[in-house]
Chain A
Amino acid sequence: MTLNGEEVDVFFASYKTLLEVLREDLGHTGTKHGCELGECGACAVLLDGKPVLSCLVLALECDGRNVMTVEGLAADGNLHPLQEAFADLGAAQCGYCTPAILVTAKALLDENAHPSRDQIREALSGNLCRCTGYQQIFEAVEAAVVRIAEQRNQLT
């Protein structure tokens, strides 16, 4: 599979989930777990650009596919605008749900460059956060939307 843009070859027991292979066999511990039953959303990663719960995906199913985790968000030494906004606006408190929320938000913004507050709520409704009360997360996603648009305008 391709992990954060790099081809990886990995050997693992066939029963292992994508979550387990990422954390235990590939050393990518940025992806977290809170239940391993698909209930909390902490293990979300992008599989071919779509958010999936990596605790419910068999790693074997990922052969030849693209996996993106929080470790792949920053590029060229720069944080992704979502990461910048989360860091500055209090959207990460304990930081445990943060990696999954970041990649889920990225998938949303890749599909919809200007989501409404309700669309953000809906996109993140499968990711539980016990610290923030979500409000600063919504605000950070909205701030990142503005930042990404600014960056696009600078490029064109």
Chain B
Amino acid sequence: MGFGRHMPKQKEWPDLPVKDSPADAEALRVIGVSRRRIDARAKVTGQTRFADDISLPRIAYCKLLRSPHPHALIKRIDVSRAFAHPGVYLVLTGKDLPIRYGILPVSQDEQALCTDHVRHVGDPVAAVIAREELTAFEALDLIDVQYEILTTISDPQQALETPEPRIHDYGEEGNIHKRIALEFGNVEDGFAEADEIFEDTFFYEGSTHLAIEQHAALATKDPEGKLTIWSCTQTPHYLHRALAKVLEMPPAHIRVIATPNGGGFGGKSEPFPHEMIVAKAALLLDRPVKICLTREEVFYCHRGRHPVLMKFKTGVKKDGSITSMQLQTLVDGGAYGSYGVASAFYTGALQTTTYHIPRYRFQACRTFTNKPPCGPKRGHGTVQPRFGQEIQLDKIAEKLEIDPAELRLRIVESPNTLTANFLTLGTVGLAECLRRVVRSSGWNEKFRKLPEGHGVGLACSAYLTGAGLPIYWNNMPHSGVQLKLDRGGGVTVFCGASEIGQGSDDVLAAIVAEVLGIDTFDVRVYTGDTDLGPVDLGSYSSRVTLMAGNAALQAAERARAMLAEAVSKRFEVPQHRLRFVQKHVFDSAAPERRVSFPEAICLAEAQFGTIGTVGSYTPPKSSALYKGGGVGPSPTYSYTAAVVEAVVDPVTGWVTVPKVWIAHDIGRALNPPLVRGQIEGGVYMGLGEALMEEQEFRRLPKKLSHALVHKFPSILEYKSPTALDMPEVVTELIEDPDPRGPFGAKEVGQGPLLPVMPAVANAVYDAVGVRIDEVPITPEKIVKALAEKKAGRAPRFGPSHFPPIHWPEALRVPPPWEGGDGQAVNDVRRQKKPDAEKEKVSAS
């Protein structure tokens, strides 16, 4: 009845393969077939239960009082009037939840409610729990807080210049959170060998996830006195850990249930104050407590794209080959650590994964500022330098008079390579991606050939298929799956992975169904529940398909082996002759000899007892042994190339994008429409960042508080592309299975966003001859750059200055081709005790 092959009709026997031909044996019946995802019916009938859809008897509602000041000390809080307000059950302040937490072990700098120091407008100060949401809201006005205003640090430049007052009492010094300096090979020798040296400065503005679902959480004390919390989190495991720490409860007494996320994009991937608060309140009140943030509050939670100023210096030979690269980034972290140390490392970690860079120096500095904290947004930290690198390559290609696609094809990195910074690449389909988009877009007929105002631009990218290291150091699996087989033929998957809309539940069902020869709709998937499923680290760093997928594959293969043993005993045939197809197990040499899948389970249960299996996945050990080498390693990397067509009005500067061509090296598409949806969704979000989205701030007038406030914390003013703005997208999948992924699959959730922004910038240059070296590429910037061009000055809009930063001495790591072993030659601490000192920061 459907449009796809979502429920293949069960065929009768004559259709089953009668010969044991390798083609039949290897044919995939679920994987790679366009199918209805297993949770689709729930979504189109409105039955998917998001966090705010859940209600319980005796429920109470929570509202948060948030700081109106960007930077202040709390001198006094009086909650007596609020507590006396009719209908109010409880008022909490910082002293009720004083223990610090944070997603990274090195940045335990958040409190559920600030005890003495607020660091951005929107920092939570008190919580009211009441019978009605409106009552809680009214009571917020009855809380009296006295603040002592501190100097506001509004941007990284000011943070560098203003060591006092400190936003945090940890970090490098003053308001510098983290400084990084790494050098792989002698970069200066590389510049000396170069025929040309290019130096360019770029700025990437911050943006936010804008998931349509606002954050919501519901906590309750269960009948045994333990805590259960439902929350739209991408990382139930990390929330579980943070709750145990903050509430000082054994993790065994806490159950976290990640509800399906109404969009995540990285914005729900760390523990939040509101989750701690409703948990505490539910325990104190012994009744369910729910909170749903307003859209304005979601803007204050943020954890979005870090604004990054960056400077690239790249040496090239006349043929385009790169001899050396230096990248410096200045990262605006906002008010808290969040994932920021990892984000800062990511602003330089993946430059080496696309093109061969023999020598590389990377320096980064993350500062604190009095703005909502930045964190991971789709492409985490790698988006900003990718923007700079791909525009600079366009400039290099023009100067060297080489076609930009040809230039990239010449320098594409080889598969199965160890890069200068010791990242181990898997399959690399970038060259094929490039060739495909060049062909499908008609690049050779368009580039530098379209009429004035029309242009095409090209860019490439790579992304992790899962962070190679866990956030907190350990040697345990990153993902686990338990499988239960029922006598009736039902198979149940238990896994900690959280479904954020990307289709990860369907991935697990598909892998299990393929291995066991059943239909995905015979598989039930329970995910994101810390009581039911083994740990999966969460839906971040594009890790679930590969890691939870491999765990599911292992569990399913173990179950299949048990069934095969039992069936082979019954038929007295060797196991290798058995096939699991269309809900049957049969002898490929004599297909009439068969049992149904439920019968096979019964045989196995009679032989082995209850049938349950487990699978787990641990990434391979990384070769990047230097301090900081925890960020960047991944089991394998995805690759993408995109061509964007742009039309620019030379008078108004208005940009429209009529069409985008994109090719993505996916390894293998497990369910093609879902893969396409991720790619087109990435293109969409990339166009938003390229052309309009910005997390901007402004000062209130002096006569008010002069506070630094969010310019527009509303969906109306924070512009994002609508159905009218979205261009036609031509999507191509490059399928060269990578042996590291389940059935060869690599990531798709994040990588396809990355080439879009630089491709737009390069297309604008092709259209009207001006370089816009920052996002968003707004009409105002184009008009200004066109005016510069007209005046005979550099036809450009973008930053010209990178501030002086006192960089620490670089850790020097000789690249593999200079005999390096992955360690820094000048890291005294690590040389003394190479195994004891473990890298604490990695992930996402």
Contact = CB atoms under 8 A, between A and B. Distances in A.
A34 B723 contact: no
Contact of B501 (A30, A31, A131): A131
Interface string A119-143: 0111011111111111111100001
Contacts of A135: 680, 726, 728-729
Contacts of B4: 88-89
Interface string B38-54: 01111111111110110
B295 A128 contact: no
Interface in B1-15: 1-4, 6
A94 B726 contact: no
A69 to B, nearest CB: 7
Nearest to A101: B723
Interface residues of B, number: 60
A12 B579 CA distance: 60
Interface stretch (A37-45, A46-54, A58-66): A37-45
With most chain B CB atoms within 10 A of its CB, the pick from A23, A82, A136, A137 is A136
Interface in A2-35: 23-24, 29-35
Contacts of A136: 673, 676-677, 680
Contacts, number: 186
A145 interface: no
Given A29-B53, A39-B715, A94-B500, A133 B6 contact: no
A128 B676 contact: no
Contacts of B263: 94, 96, 130-131
B724 interface: yes
A96 B41 contact: no
Contacts of B477: none
Interface in B647-681: 673-674, 676-677, 680-681
With most chain B CB atoms within 10 A of its CB, the pick from A23, A30, A37, A94 is A94
A87 B55 CA distance: 27
With most chain A CB atoms within 10 A of its CB, the pick from B43, B47, B48, B684 is B43
7 contacts: A69-B46, A88-B2, A93-B503, A96-B262, A96-B501, A102-B44, A129-B723
Contact of B212 (A32, A84, A137, A143): A32
B260 interface: yes
A123 B40 CA distance: 23
Nearest to A123: B723
A74 interface: yes
Contacts of B720: 128, 130
Contact of A32 (B213, B261, B503, B714): B213
A149 interface: no
A128 B212 contact: yes
Given A102-B44, A136-B676, A143-B3, A93 B211 contact: no
Interface residues of A, number: 58
Given A36-B295, A93-B501, A86 B729 contact: no
B27 interface: no
Contacts of A133: 677, 680-685, 726, 729
B685 A130 contact: yes
Contact of B684 (A30, A98, A132): A132
With most chain A CB atoms within 10 A of its CB, the pick from B53, B263, B723, B729 is B723
Contacts of A134: 684, 723, 726
Given A42-B212, A96-B262, A89 B3 contact: yes
Given A32-B213, A95-B501, A85 B680 contact: no
Contacts of A120: 723
B659 to A, nearest CB: 12
Contact of A30 (B45, B500, B683, B714): B45
Contacts of A83: 44-45
A127 B720 CA distance: 11
A132 B40 contact: no
Contacts of B502: 93
A23 B46 CA distance: 12
A39 B500 CA distance: 22
Contacts of B682: 133
B562 interface: no
B677 A90 contact: yes
B710 to A, nearest CB: 15
B685 A95 contact: no
B287 to A, nearest CB: 17
